[in-house]
Structures are given as structure tokens and as C-alpha cells.
A and B are shown apart, each in its own frame.
Chain A
Amino acid sequence: MKPNEFDVIIIGGGITGAGTQRDCAMRGLRTLLIERSDIATGATGRNHGLLHSGARYAVNDSESAEECIRENMILRRIAAHCIDETDGLFITLPEDDLGYQQTFVDACRKAGISAEIIDPDLARRLEPSVNPSLIGAVKVPDGSVDPFRLCAANMLDAKLRGGQVRLQTEVTGFIKEGDTVVGVHTRSRLTGEEADYYAPVTVNACGIWGQHMAEMAGVKVNMFPAKGALLIFAHRVNNVVINRCRKPSNADILVPGDTVCIIGTTSTRIPFEECDNVAVTPDEVDLLITEGAKLAPSLSETRILRAYAGVRPLVSADDDPSGRNISRGIVCLDHEVRDGLKGFITITGGKLMTYRLMAEIATDLVCKKLGVDKACETAETPLPGSEEKSYEAVAQKIWEAPTTAQKAAASRMGTRAARIRTGNKRDDALICECEEVSVGEINAAIDRLEVSTLTDLRRRTRVGMGTCQGEFCACRAAGLLAKAHGCVERERRDLEDFLQERWKGNFPIGWGDTLREAEYTQWVYKHVLGL
């Protein structure tokens, strides 16, 4: 095989693409993943980070609920370092119908989800931030998951198994021989360099952008862009996921994650052109705050860190061009059977929670096409970093008496934290004080995790995700990146892009301490630092 020939090309560096690459690599295939920007830039990194128990879907969509709880249990085993086992509550407020609780619990149990009605008093003790006026509570095995970490770990595992990754690389066209896709034309967004890659099978795992990719290949997939807006609060107000026990509605899930918590979401149909640049409106912000405070009243007094939005990759059924019949389930299209186009598969729909299952379905199809007979092992084999269950145990094992920064690193990298250079002053110096990220951890990410920009670095290490929103750490980290890449001029532009990206999430909630911080940052960068 030539260096530009592979068994399978996967387009899309979201969790579906990364998961599919890992699965394909584990089945012995030579894989190439192509992503036009960075990992987890689409819906993967723009949701709650909720490890669904499936309870939310139990009443209306039992199939999704069953998928969720199965994958929930699997992810706890294979992705321990990406997961926080917080549990979840479904609370009934005085204005809600308490009668719904029993319907809900019955549906959960039918789907295999443990759902336990608990006394409101116990709920208040389990989660002191919960709205004290609740009249009912059900405990379910919800949790939180860091989608960036999960995506990076899948990609890393694929790489460790010989897979190749091209980030910041755009697919500009398909190479066809008759009715078969045999490869792709690409262009690097960093260097402008063009390259062709060949494989007998190409997987379209581009989420909402899959429609465009399919079009480029000459087939039609009808996607339905639905925007969901969310807010990140600057503190971890709750330790247990809080949901409303009623029919799914707007802004009724509050998820704790790392040092923050996230309220969401809304759901608005948007035109396709807006998918690349979704904005959060003041109305959405107001709704999220009002509804969020009903779950945990202290949210109305808590500083908001950012507003952001993602686009769900919903697919409308093939025989329904009106789009009324929208599936929230997994959609795997064999374009050979469906459209007569060989060598091309689309995997879309689904959720962050079911990425592994989606990858398994897509990989099964890839293997069938290639005549490979090897069973899927992704449900049993831990991701790199997740070989140990608790990060405290990991930190203890590596460092004996770990510092808080080392514990933080272990919670982010799992057992991979052993590769961080540490134990000396230079590597231990903190770059990001909000999230306690050291020089050593940043260099480890630059070495192994395909970092080309500060925003990439943020997704992999949490640099700039804390309360200062990158005010100081951005500059410091830019210095390290400039050194690693040997290009200061590029880093200067990168720093500007990073600050712009942070501001985009700040100004929709630009008041109180957020505006104070923003004023400070804008003043320092413009007037003092002279960027």
C-alpha cells in the first residue's frame, strides 16, 4: 500500500468520527480521519456533556432510552477518566403534575433504567442546591461526560493503533471511479497544501454538515438543523444532575461538569447557512436563566461564564421531504443500497451518548464491505487514560503525594497523566491558574494530541475555560505554542482568534462580573499589551 492509501477514510472529527476511527483501527483496518477544523468543534462539544441515563427519553422514545442506559454503563467502564458519576434527580415542582412521576418511573424501569422515587427531604440533602419547594424526586443513574476528552481519547487510541489524523484539512471533492467513491481530494487549511487519499470505503461522519458532504458525493441526505442554546455558570452549583420530571421541555437540565455547571437547552429550527456560526439570542439567555433558577434558585445569583449553542444533527426520514417525521435515533445509510453509490457510508443522527454504538454500526458495515470478519471490542476495551477507575487512585499511583495540580491533571488525562513531565520547577509552573494546568501538561498535549491553536489546546486541557476566560493563560500558552511550532507570527493571529472566540461566548451574557472581566481583558490586550 502507498502512504496515501487506506482501508477506510473517515470524514469528521466529532465523537462519531473519532469513535468510528477507533473501532475500525481495533478491527485491524488502516484508517485516516479528516477534519476541516479541530476535534469536537460541532455538536460533540456543544451540548450539556450529560451522561444520559436514558430517563429523559423513557416515556416518549423507549428505543433511545434503552440505547442510552446500555451505553451509559459501557462508558463508565471504558471512559472512566471522561466521566463523573454524579447520579441525577428528576424533580417535580409545585406547578408540575406529580401524577407524571409514576408514568415516568414505570417507563424507566421498562427500559432497564434504575429509577427510585425518593423523599423530597432526601433529595434536598443529596443536592442542597435543588429548588427546596420540590414536591417529588426520582433518582436515576445520570452523570456527566467531558466530550472533548472523550473525543481526544478515541482519536488517540486510533493513532496508537496506527491510525492517521489530518486536522485542519478540508475535503474539497470525491474521487470516483464509475459509481464508486475511491478517495477524496483535500486541502490543508494551515498550509493550503492539496493532497489526495484513497480507500475502498469512505465514511461520512460530519454531523449536521453530513448533508453537504453527501451532496458533494452526489447523494441526498435531508438534515434538520435544530439549534440548542446553553449557559455555563462559573461555579459547580450542583453535584447531582437536576432534571424536571415532566415532558422534555426547554432549559430543564442542569449538569455539573468539572469546575462549572451547564443549563440547557432550547430548540430552534435554523436555516442551514447558520450552522457554521450559531449565535445565542438575548431571549434564549433570559429563558435559560429563568428556567434554570427553577431547578436551582442560586443560579439567579451565580456568575454566568459563557453562552454557546450547538446544532443537533437530526435526520428526516427518506420518504418524508416535509421533515415532519424526524428521527432522533441513529441513522446509518449504505449509499450503495440506497443510491447505487458504492464505497460511501453516512453515519449520523444519534447522540453523544450513543457515539460508540453508532461507530460500531458504521464499522460493522465498513467491515462487511471490506470482507473483514472481526468482532467489535470497543464496549470492553478501556480508552487510553481510562485503565483505572478513579483519578485520585491514578494520581496516587503516579506521584504518591500528588499536589492539587497533579490531581487536576489526572482527572483530565487519567492514566496518561503519567506521561506529563513533572516534579521540577519548570514543568510544574502553572500556565492556567483557574484550572491548574501546568507547563508539563500543556507540552504533553502539544506532543501527543494534535494541537495547532490555543482553542485546540483549550479543548484538550481546559486552558482558558475557567473564570478568567483566558485573560492571562492565553498569552502564556501562546508563548509555549510559538516555541513548539516555531512560528510567532502565526501564534499572534492565533491569540487574536482565541480572544475573539472567548468574547463570542461572553457578550451575550455581558453583565456583572462577566463584563468586569471582559473590560479588563479588552483593556489589557488593546492598550497595555498592544495586540
Chain B
Amino acid sequence: MKYDVVIIGGGLSGLVAGITLQKAGKRTAIISTGQNALHFFSGTFESLQEPSQRIKDLFLEAGVRVHYNPGVRLTPMGTFKEAALSLEDIDLFPSEKIGKRVLIVNFQGYHDFFSSFLAEGLEKQGMQCRVRFLNLPELERLQQSPSEMRSVQIARTVDPLWEKVVQEVRLLLKDEDTVILPQVFGLADTSVPGRIRQGIPARVVFAGTLPPSVPGVRTQILLRKRYQLLGGTYLMGDEVVRAHVHEGVVHSVATKNLDSHYVEASEAFILSTGSYFSKGLVANPFRVYEPVFGLDVEYKEDRNAWYNPSFAGDQPYMHFGVKASADLLALKDGEPLQNLYVAGSVLGDTHPEFGSAAGQAIQSALFVADKILGL
């Protein structure tokens, strides 16, 4: 199989690069193991300031509505974090005072939404909170199995029931000006969060749950669909097992599912395999390495220096990443490979000019796509 560009890794950076290249007329393929950091996405793009029109368009065309509104996000634990750009159903507030009287509504038997922590956090900011539980018969069925009350399963159930949710919340609502609901809406039908907001005569805030993040999974699905609609080939549930590199040029890669068929790219490869969790970086007791190409990795030799003994402290290992040239060409044995670009969190902190996390994923992906397009 031959493409113009082959992208290894189907998370945010792989998809952004893929969409950009497809739009510019390239034939591309994305090889994805299936799990990526979007599955635990907070819904806000850290380290991304006022986004360019290009980024806004890219999301909008995929049906991912984002808004730029610098302020603070309400976290699932009832604290606040600064952010500038977020998905449309994730509110950013000018201050921690998000209302005067707040009604927090959870589903009965759902332990992954922390209503008591939210209430305590908001009361600390001087708000009055009331916590109530909704009992939907449709969710009772989900509870037949003791581990089914999780975000995505609930999301699959509640989207069609949004009118009922609105009715029930209206019955619970007294004099509150703000209602907080778990972020489990709009997985299949992206209009649902907006409809719920319209139906409830108070400000509706969707607060996060334990992963998987429903807004994150939705974003991943929409971007993937957009990519496929543009003609991109998304090889889901597959991973690269071998790479064929000769004299500084990557010729092809072999994947687990397509064992004997090498995937070739005539123009370039992009490595966007994520960090440790997605196995873009692998640590063993002796070193940190990049498993596909054996690229140069920036890390500390002394294992003791990888960690901060404080859980909450900054962790050095999180800054490690694949070394790349200023053009984001991957380095191997100190020399850039001529057609292998690197994007996203596999870079670690080696190129701080691209920001971190979701911001880095987007900006490094666009940068790499532009390089391939000769822009």
C-alpha cells in the first residue's frame, strides 16, 4: 500500500495533520492503536491562546465547535483552572463566581461524577449549593451490571432522553440560577448539550467526570469522521511493528494487522505516537526509548532523576521526548531522517515553542503538515 504521507498515531496531532494534508490533496493513511489522550481530554486546550482562523475552521468543518473565551474552567473536583480555548459545551468563566445558587444534579448510582466535591468547592467560593439525584429507568437497566455506570455507557443511553432530563431537572429546580450536570451528553448527537441548555431556565454548566471523557471521545470521533470524509485511510486498532529505513530515509513500515504488506509513503512519514501512555515513548529500567524507529530521545541517564518523589510535583520524566531538528525532522544517531517528522506529545518538552499538551499537539501538527506541503 502506497500513500503520499503515512501518519503513525491517530490522536489529536495525527488527526490534525491528516485532515490538513488531505484537504491539500495528499493521499494519507493514519495507523492508530485506538487509544489516545483525547479519551481523557479536559475539553480545554491548554497553552493555546487566541487560535488562528485556520484552527477555528479546521475544527468547525469537522463539527467540533470551540470557543475562545479566556477565563477559568470548573474542574470535576470543584476547583478552577485557567484556560482560553475550549469545546463549546465546556464553559469558561470570567471568575470563580459562576452563580449565586447552584443546583448540582447527578444520576443515582453514578460514582464517577463528584457532586459532593463540586458542592464543597463552590461553597468555598461563597455559593449556595444543593445536590440532587436523577433516577432514570433507562439507567437502572445499565446498573444490572455492576461496572456499567461509566461515562460513555451513560452517554450512549441519555442522548435520546434529553427531553426527559430537562423535565426532571426543571422539577428539581427551585430558585437556583445555575445547574451543574455531568459531561455525559452529546456523544452521538452533538446538538444535545445546546438543547438541554435551552430547555432549562437557568445557566447550565457541564462538569467533567472520570475518564473516558465524553467530550474528548466525541472530538476524536468527529475529527476521525472528517478525516475519512476527506478520503483519508484510518487504520484503526493497528500498530507499527517494524520500519524499513535506509540511508537516512524511511521507506516503509510494517503493521501488526498488515504483516506482509508494507505501508509506503512517497513523501513523508509523521510520528505522532504520543507519550508513555500511548507507547510513543517506552521506559525500561535502563533508558527511555522510541520503539518504532529507535530515534534519539532526550532524557536523563540516572533513573533517580526521572521522578519527583512528590506526586503533585513537576515530573521530569514527562518532559522527556524524541529529539527533532528545528523543522521537526526526527533525529537518529544525531542526524535528521530526511522524511520523518515528529508531532504531538512524543516530542515531550524538546520544542517548547509549540506549547504543551493539546496546544502542542495542534500546533506541531500544523507546522509539520506545512513543511510537507512546502509552505
Contact = CB atoms under 8 A, between A and B. Distances in A.
Interface string B10-50: 00000000000000000000000000010011100010000
B77 A529 contact: yes
Contacts of B37: 523
Given A500-B311, A511-B284, A429 B279 contact: no
Interface residues on B, range: 35 or more
A510 B211 contact: no
A502 B77 CA distance: 20
B348 to A, nearest CB: 11
B149 interface: yes
B162 interface: no
Contact of B114 (A475, A500, A525, A526): A475
Interface stretch (A38-46, A208-216, A341-349, A512-520): A512-520
A522 B285 contact: no
A289 B309 CA distance: 22
Given A433-B147, A519-B275, A482 B116 contact: yes
A482 B282 CA distance: 38
A425 B116 contact: no
Nearest to B275: A519
A523 B345 CA distance: 13
Nearest to A521: B311
A432 to B, nearest CB: 10
A491 B282 CA distance: 34
B79 interface: yes
A135 B282 CA distance: 37
A496 interface: yes
Nearest to B303: A282
Given A282-B303, A530-B76, A530-B79, A511 B211 contact: no
A531 interface: yes
Given A523-B40, A527-B42, A528-B42, A512 B284 contact: yes
B112 interface: yes
A488 B357 contact: no
B182 to A, nearest CB: 13
B311 A522 contact: yes
A515 B285 CA distance: 11
A488 B114 CA distance: 10
Contact of A528 (B213, B283, B307): B213
Contacts of A78: none
A425 B140 contact: yes
B74 to A, nearest CB: 8
Interface in A472-531: 472, 475-476, 478-480, 482-483, 488-489, 491-492, 496, 499-500, 502-504, 507, 510-512, 515-516, 519-520, 522-531
Contacts of B80: 530
A431 interface: yes
Contact of B317 (A405, A482, A510, A512): A510
A516 B303 contact: no
B146 A500 contact: no
A428 interface: yes
Contact of A492 (B117, B306, B317): B117
A438 B146 contact: yes
B370 to A, nearest CB: 28
Interface in B129-165: 140, 143-144, 146-147, 149
B261 interface: no
A345 to B, nearest CB: 38
A520 B117 CA distance: 21
B191 interface: no
A488 B117 contact: yes
A488 B149 contact: no
B94 to A, nearest CB: 18
Contacts of A511: 283-285, 303
Interface string B256-281: 00000000000000000001110100
B167 interface: no
Nearest to A496: B312
B76 A529 contact: yes
B307 A489 contact: no
B75 interface: yes
Nearest to B142: A425
Contacts of B275: 519
Contacts of A428: 146
B75 A530 contact: yes
A109 interface: no
Contacts of A430: 146-147
A477 B295 CA distance: 42
B95 interface: no
For chain B, what secondary structure do more than half of its interface residues adopt (helix, strand, loop), or is it mixed? loop
Contact of A500 (B144, B149, B213, B310): B310
B307 A510 contact: yes
B42 A488 contact: no
B317 A527 contact: no
A529 B146 contact: no
B203 interface: no
B96 interface: no
A426 interface: yes
A516 B276 contact: yes
Contacts of B143: 425-426, 429
Contacts of B309: 503-504, 507
Contacts of B79: 530-531
Contact of B144 (A289, A425, A439, A489): A425
Contacts of A405: 146
A516 B278 CA distance: 8
Nearest to B211: A524
A519 B276 contact: yes
Interface in B70-88: 73, 75-77, 79-81
A526 B108 CA distance: 27
Interface string A422-444: 00011011110100001100000
A13 to B, nearest CB: 26
B244 interface: no
A286 interface: yes
A475 B76 CA distance: 11
A527 B112 CA distance: 16
B313 to A, nearest CB: 10
**Which of A478, A480, A502, A527: most chain B CB closer than 10 A?**
A527
B52 interface: no
Contact of B109 (A426, A491, A503, A510): A426
Nearest to B304: A282
Contacts of B283: 510-512, 515
Interface string B199-221: 00000000010110100000000
B137 to A, nearest CB: 12
A31 B306 CA distance: 49
A502 B114 CA distance: 21
B140 to A, nearest CB: 7
B40 A528 contact: yes
B120 interface: yes
Given A527-B42, A528-B76, 4 more contacts: A472-B210, A523-B37, A528-B42, A528-B75
Interface of A: 282, 285-286, 289, 403, 405, 425-426, 428-431, 433, 438-439, 472, 475-476, 478-480, 482-483, 488-489, 491-492, 496, 499-500, 502-504, 507, 510-512, 515-516, 519-520, 522-531
17 contacts: A282-B304, A426-B109, A429-B109, A429-B111, A429-B146, A430-B147, A492-B120, A503-B311, A510-B306, A510-B307, A522-B315, A524-B210, A528-B213, A529-B77, A530-B75, A530-B76, A530-B81
What are the 6 closest A-B residue pairs judged by CB atoms, nearest first?
A530-B75, A488-B120, A425-B143, A503-B311, A511-B283, A507-B307
